[in-house]
Amino acid sequence: MTEGLIWGYVYPNEAEVQWSILIVLYPYITGLVAGAFIASSLYHVFGKKEIKPVARFALLTALAFLLVATMPLVAHLGHPERGVQIMFTPHLTSAMSGFGYIYSFYLIVVVLEIWLSFREDIVKKALSSRGLKELLYSGLALFSYDISERALHEDEKLARRLAIIGIPSAAFLHGYVGFIFGGIKANPWWSTPLMPIIFLMSAIVSGIALLILLYIVAMKIRRHAIDHSCLYSLAQYLWVFLIFDVVLELLEVVSMKYESLEEIEIINILLSEKIATTFYGVQLTLGIFVPFVLLLLVGIMKNHDTLKTIMIAVSSTLVVIGVFAMRWNVVIGGQEISKSLSGTLTYVPVFFGMEGVLPAVVIFTIPFIILLVLTYILPPWKDMEEATE
């Protein structure tokens, strides 16, 4: 069966593509986390008031996705119970072994940030409810109910500081994922020092796009008007980061083609045969070019709020799909070329089974369920709705 999937000369240990769709999902999810967090810090750190309606919602989104970020990896491991070993005995010369600590540090920052920005609501709920609900919110408030002006001011100061630490750690968490791929010197499609920044930019792009989509959907479900100044502002940031993203992605391919080192022949085959549709079609055209033009039009057009909202929603959907295609092209594309540089392989995803499409879909739906639960416990709607009231 593997006969038809292999072309040219490949090494025996490459005959099977080991990093499956789950490993595509992993950088995709961490990217969404980093992007959502950076979107929220536009308000928390850089004081962009127009982002305020979604700032806390963005934090909850970041947490919801962060909680499942490890799941694709653990499911891929085969021995999930051994996953924690990476934290018990991390080898200092391995970039991969840093994951547990980088992830935990970032999780602590996000949880603290959420706690501080929701503390006033938590305390008020604890004081006004009874029974189990009171216990839940009192527990979340750590049984400390001080919401005086001074206490809240202190919270805000600390939250700002945390967000300042949070941005580099978000960048680190995701840049690090890029570094792992960028540091694999045997694979010409991965090995580039640009990889961490490419990953980071596409993370920010996908995170902002997801936030826009979730915001529009949440407002539609709650039958509430969308705050257009917030939406346009997010769309503008999306547009700006799209430019950085496309510049870096193309820079890598263009410099590879211009340098034309010995790997160029296999890279050409990869780009023209193996991942042509997902690279030129989905990643560049649908994921970057079309949203770029649509968002440019949104920036130019006056009035037509409904049309602009639709255009932003379409762009965001395309960006979210495009970034998934980008992860696919990196992770799967890199494994579809042989390290001999004179053969190719083909990844055929299975549907069921540990490494299949089904577990990937299941894992990707979990963050949305977590987000639903989180917004039920810590409703962020007040900020989102007061601007348009």
Partner 1 sequence: MQPHIKRAFTLLAIAIIVFIVIRSLVVPDSFGQYGWYRGDSVVDNRNFPVEYAGSASCGEENCHKTLYSIWEDSRHKTVNCETCHGPSEKHVSNVRIMPQPANESRDFCGLCHFRQTARPEDFSQIDPETHGQNLRCAYCHNPHKPWFV
Task: Tell me if 350 contacts partner 1 by CB under 8 A.
Answer: no
Does residue 10 bind partner 1 (CB under 8 A)? Answer: yes
Q: Which is nearer to partner 1, 10 or 110 (CB)?
A: 10
Phi, then psi, of 261 in degrees rounded to 5:
-70, -175
- Interactions with partner 1, residue window 121-160 (CB under 8 A): 141-144, 146, 151, 154-155, 158
Taking the complex as a whole, the smallest distance from the CB of residue 101 to partner 1 amounts, in Å, to 11
**Residue 115 near partner 1 by CB under 8 A:** yes
Among 46, 49, 82, 108, binds partner 1 (CB under 8 A): 108
The yes or no reply on residue 14 touching partner 1 (CB under 8 A) is yes
Cβ partners under 8 Å of residue 230, min gap 6: 50, 51, 52, 53, 54, 215, 387
- Based on CB atoms, which residue is closest to partner 1, 89 or 303? 89
Q: Closest CB to partner 1 among 113 and 245?
A: 113
Question: In sequence order, which ranges of the chain are alpha helices (DSSP H)?
Answer: 21-44, 52-68, 71-77, 85-88, 99-128, 131-140, 149-182, 195-221, 228-259, 264-269, 276, 290-300, 305-335, 357-377, 381-386
Provide the 3-class DSSP secondary structure of residue 337.
Answer: strand
Question: Cα–Cα distance between 267 and 253 in angstroms, integer?
Answer: 9
Q: What is the dihedral of CA 309, 310, 312, 315, to 10 degrees?
A: 180
Contact (CB, 8 A) for 27 and 180 = no
- Distance between CA atoms of 29 and 41, rounded to whole angstroms? 19
- Give me 45's structure tokens: 């750190």
According to the binding rule CB under 8 A, does residue 2 interact with partner 1?
yes
Q: In Å, what is the CA distance from 60 to each residue of 11, 29, 219, 247, 314?
A: 45, 14, 16, 30, 23
- Which member of 77, 96, 102, 112 binds partner 1 (CB under 8 A)? 112
* CB closer to partner 1 out of 145 and 280: 145
d(CA 118, CA 112): 10
Shortest CB 378 distance to partner 1, Å: 16
Provide the minimum distance between the beta carbon of 117 and partner 1 in the complex, in angstroms, as a whole number. 13
C-alpha distances (whole Å) from 192 to each of 136, 249, 288, 376, 384 are: 48, 11, 21, 43, 41
- The answer to the question of residue 274 lying near partner 1 (CB under 8 A) is no
Nearer to partner 1, 102 or 310 (CB): 102
User: How many residues in the shown chain lie near partner 1 by CB under 8 A?
Assistant: 25
* Amino acid (1-letter code) at residue 181: F
15 lies in the site for partner 1, by CB under 8 A: yes
Say how far apart CA 132 and CA 144 lie, in whole Å.
Answer: 17
Site string for partner 1, 56-95 (x = CB under 8 A): -------------------------------xxx-x----
Residue 136 or 366 with smaller CB distance to partner 1: 136
Please identify, using beta-carbon distances, which residue of 10 and 198 lies nearer to partner 1.
Answer: 10
Min dist. Cβ of residue 134 to partner 1 (A): 17
Cβ at position 1, least distance to partner 1 in Å: 11
CB 296 → partner 1: shortest distance, Å?
44
Minimum gap (Å) between residue 144 Cβ and partner 1: 4
CB of 142 to partner 1, least distance (A): 4
The smaller minimum CB distance to partner 1, of residues 144 and 260, is found at 144
Strand pairing report for 343-344 and 7-8: antiparallel
Query: Among residues 11 and 351, whose Cβ is nearest to partner 1?
Result: 11
- Are 207 and 31 within 8 A, CB to CB? yes
At 376, the amino acid letter reads Y
Binding site for partner 1 (CB under 8 A): 2-3, 6, 10-12, 14-15, 87-89, 91, 108, 112, 115, 119, 141-144, 146, 151, 154-155, 158
